Amino acid sequence: MLPKAKNEWTVEEAAHLVRRAGFGGSPDQIARIHAMGREAAVDSLLDPDEPQDAIPLPSWYNPARLAEEQRERLEEMRESRTEGRSMTAAERERAQRMARQEAQRTARQRLMTASAWWFDRMMRTRAPLREKMVLFLHDHFATSSQKVRQPALMMRQNELLREYALGDFRKLTHEIVRDPAMMLYLDTQTSKKGKPNENFAREVMELFTLGEGNYTEKDIKEAARAFTGYTVNRFNGKVSHVKFQWDSGSKTVLGKTGKFDGDQVVDILFEQQAAAEYLPSKLWMFFVEDEPPKAVVEELAEGFRASGFQLKPLLREIFLSRAFYDSTVIRNQIKSPIQFLVQMCKELEVPDLPGGYEQLAQRELGQVLFVPPNVAGWDWGRAWINTNTLLSRYNIAGVITQGAVDAPGTEGGGENMMDQMAEGGGPGMKVVARLVGRNMRDWKGPDYEKLAPRELRKDPEKLVGSLIARFFQSDPGDKQRGAFVDYAKSKQGVVFTNHEVAELCHLMMSTPRYQLC
């Protein structure tokens, strides 16, 4: 066990837990967590009182309805085949193209609602650690809808990750091996006896369980043979193991020999010491710091193995460790784009974003839910930040705080900016941009009467102090504080309207410091 932190703690430490083990919160939410004491606060995150089905799934994601749809589509295909006989080749091709386009349009819309649903869930959930773990697992078992192209399967995987987010990691890995979205993503379904596809076996070892350097090319080739014969029905996502396409011969993987199938290979992987260390080390990087100390990883690995690869005790050990609350750890993590967006909304106490805007913003900042860049997931930490994404963060903060909605260059309610953000976003993004432009006008934005009561505006020092507590939850230093106060004073004239407060909030967020959590 790692050395534990004592139960007494500061509000700043509570805010740190709320940010890292979730997506941050309002000052009230942080105060509530702080009042619980450290142990109870961590337990409340690990045992959320919100069941997995508490938040209704997107309306189209309904197994009965999807099955009905499949039947209809089969029927349509049969009909069109009959009709097709009386058509010319050109007519037939045109009909097929239209059907394809229609299907693509539906898929695109569904994926957007799936993505909006998950983002909304992160904002609303009373089980923030579970959602943060789903995000971690989505990165760990990265699967992109760009290749899978079936929103229902992406949603199904998302629900699977949620089911195991605080559960049994070994079991989850077994499930992922036969998860239809993952299989389509890594082309497992075409891996057959005699012609095994090595890709899947490689990623299972390199990215899912052991990490690079803990296996040989030979292990991959042999394991690839074990993973043959799994097929997925593209139409309904049904997975089966086809015996005659499976290589039933003897294989040697990591020193063990037998007529293994995929499940048995996964079990062998979990017998390796590397499997006990790999995930704890990644979790430490995700929740704590960029470079996990060797001793920490060894400690965590011991507990992880002893518990049979259970995530909950592992997370408990992390969030109760003294190291997690070290002063070098607090406020020294660069927010991921999702963290940046959700945390900002929580700090501004806005319940939602203008419909579709979260998608444009994700694209701009380099992290689109359901579309990780490749099977290794996103690069985290400093890789989120470059001159481009930093300016984009500042400008998105301008839109969400409403500190810059009518800035020069964004005439027309910011639609121009939306169009430019959508530029290069592929099919559908222009449509989203127009939609966002409309939604933006109806969106209420933050309630500055509540965030910065009129009374408070009379005293710039106090106003700034209150907003700093809200957005930074720690002291940003005299120079920064002084600049904010000076700005507030410069705005404190005859009127100090909500717009001036919005500008001040925007300025606070347009700083390097605000990018840290």
Q: Kindly state whether residue 83 participates in binding other proteins, applying the rule CB under 8 A.
A: no
Closer residue to other proteins in complex, CB, 151/211: 211
- Which of 61, 270, 503, 505 binds other proteins (CB under 8 A)? It is 503
Q: How far apart are CA 279 and CA 283, in angstroms?
A: 6
Residue with tokens 């971690």: 136
Q: How far apart are CA 329 and CA 312, in angstroms?
A: 22
Shortest Å distance, C-beta 350 to other proteins: 17
Closer residue to other proteins in complex, CB, 255/409: 409
Closer residue to other proteins in complex, CB, 131/179: 179
- Which of 342, 500, 501, 505 binds other proteins (CB under 8 A)? It is 500
Q: Could you give the count of Cα atoms lying within 13 Å of 330 in the half-sphere of its Cβ?
A: 18
Binding mask 447-486 for other proteins (x = CB under 8 A): ------------------------------xxxx--x--x
Q: How far apart are CA 212 and CA 202, in angstroms?
A: 10
Q: Which of residues 281-300 bind other proteins (CB under 8 A)?
A: 290
Q: Which among 30-38, 265-273, 326-334, 449-457 is the span making contact with other proteins, rule CB under 8 A?
A: 326-334
Shortest Å distance, C-beta 472 to other proteins: 12
Closer residue to other proteins in complex, CB, 117/370: 370
Closer residue to other proteins in complex, CB, 235/308: 235
Q: Where are the alpha helices (DSSP H) in 260-368?
A: 262-270, 273-287, 294-306, 311-320, 337-348, 357-365
DSSP 3-state assignment of 253? Answer: strand
Q: Kindly state whether residue 507 participates in binding other proteins, applying the rule CB under 8 A.
A: yes
- Which of 417, 432, 451, 505 binds other proteins (CB under 8 A)? It is 417
Q: Which of residues 208-267 bind other proteins (CB under 8 A)?
A: 212, 217
Q: How far apart are CA 43 and CA 48, in angstroms?
A: 8
Shortest Å distance, C-beta 41 to other proteins: 25
Closer residue to other proteins in complex, CB, 265/507: 507
Closer residue to other proteins in complex, CB, 3/194: 194
- Which of 366, 437, 445, 446 binds other proteins (CB under 8 A)? It is 366
Q: Kindly state whether residue 382 participates in binding other proteins, applying the rule CB under 8 A.
A: yes
18 in Cβ contact with 30 (< 8 Å): yes
Q: How far apart are CA 260 and CA 216, in angstroms?
A: 17
- Cβ-in-10-Å burial (0-12, 13-18, 19+) of 102 comes to exposed
Q: Which among 52-60, 152-160, 416-424, 434-442 is the span making contact with other proteins, rule CB under 8 A?
A: 416-424
Q: Can you list the pairs that 487-492 forms with residues at least 24 positions away whose Cβ atoms lie under 8 Å?
A: 488/460, 488/463, 488/464, 489/460, 492/457, 492/458, 492/460
Q: Which of residues 330-349 bind other proteins (CB under 8 A)?
A: 332-334
DSSP 3-state assignment of 46? Answer: helix
Q: Which among 58-66, 75-83, 189-197, 456-464 is the span making contact with other proteins, rule CB under 8 A?
A: 189-197
Residues 6+ apart with CB under 8 A from 203: 186, 375
Torsion sign (Cα): 470, 472, 477, 482: negative
Q: Could you give the count of Cα atoms lying within 13 Å of 470 in the half-sphere of its Cβ?
A: 21
